[in-house]
Amino acid sequence: MRKSVSSLALAAWLCVGSATAQQTTPSPITGNFTLASEYRFRGIDQTFGKPAVQGGFDYSHSSGVYLGNWNSNVSSGAGYPNGNIEMDFYGGYKHAFGEFGTDVGFIYYAYPGTSPKVNNKELYVGGTWKFFAAKFFYAIDDYFSARGSSGEDTKGTTYLDLAANYDLGSGWSILAHYGHLNFKHVGNGSYSDWKLGVTKDLAGWLFAAALVATNAKGDCGSGEPYCFPQTQPGSGGSKRDAGRSTVVFSVGKTF
């Protein structure tokens, strides 16, 4: 009887332990949502200075393979004629060993409704060490469907992304970023961008503020490439330097 009771108790304990383990095992699928004061992509304004609603989901397999989707509203004047949404689809493989990590993959940027059609396809490779990260992107087709200054293709355009995110404790972190776009065959198209900001985690909600700046050529009076017109109805034909310095505020959550 004692042996049976002990066996039953052990079995019950194992069941509880198994149930607890199952409850604490993280889901391979996560979602994310962000509300931002404006959307900056590689330092360039994508929403004509207006707010952005963004979100998506990620699937991560234990093998290191991952897939994901991310979406945001954009302005048609930011190079997306007749379009107002960006949809990104990506997949790749991550592997960590010690304090180092690697990441290789492919990303497709789609802009439904654009006419003429705008999209972008890039391969990327990256690495992390402690709180540092670096990633290199290579366009395998015309970069965001753009042609060169004399009609050449812009395949082979590259972007280097260097970043650091340091945990200060108590939910506070500081972040820094430097990027450089090498825009093939586009006069004054290449530029650098940088960002310095702070984040605060409050009950799972991440609040952030960051200074964003570039040296992109956006003088509207000189017809430089990063002066974007506002083509949406009611805009009055206004124009904006898309690489101007600004502070971007955001709040987001991963679930």
Tens of pLDDT, residue by residue over 20-54, are 445 567 899 999 999 999 999 999 999 999 999 99
Specify the long-range contacts of residues 223-232, CB closer than 8 Å, at least 24 apart. Answer: 224/188, 225/186, 225/187, 225/188, 225/189, 226/44, 226/191, 228/45, 228/48, 228/75, 228/77, 228/78, 228/79, 229/77, 230/48, 230/75, 230/77, 231/76, 231/77, 231/81, 232/75, 232/76, 232/77, 232/84
Residues in the chain: 255
User: Does residue 28 contact residue 13 with C-beta atoms inside 8 Å?
Assistant: no
Q: Looking at the domain that runs over 29-254, which CATH code has it been given?
A: 2.40.160.40
Specify the long-range contacts of residues 173-180, CB closer than 8 Å, at least 24 apart. Answer: 173/198, 173/199, 173/200, 173/201, 174/198, 174/199, 175/199, 175/208, 175/210, 179/42, 179/43
**Position of tokens 């992509």?**
41
Tokens in use for 62?
Answer: 């234990």
Q: For the chain, which residues make up each domain, given as ranges?
A: 29-254
Tokens in use for 83?
Answer: 């379009």
Q: Is the pTM of this model over 0.85?
A: yes
Confidence check: pLDDT of 141 > 50: yes
Confidence check: pLDDT of 241 > 70: yes
Please give the pLDDT value at position 25. Answer: 75
Tens of pLDDT, residue by residue over 207-217, are 999 999 999 99
Tens of pLDDT, residue by residue over 79-136, are 999 999 999 999 999 999 999 999 999 999 999 999 999 999 999 999 999 999 999 9
Please give the pLDDT value at position 45. Answer: 97
The SS3 assignment for 19 reads helix
Please give the pLDDT value at position 145. Answer: 97
Tens of pLDDT, residue by residue over 59-76, are 999 999 999 999 999 999
User: Rounded mean pLDDT of 137-147?
Assistant: 97
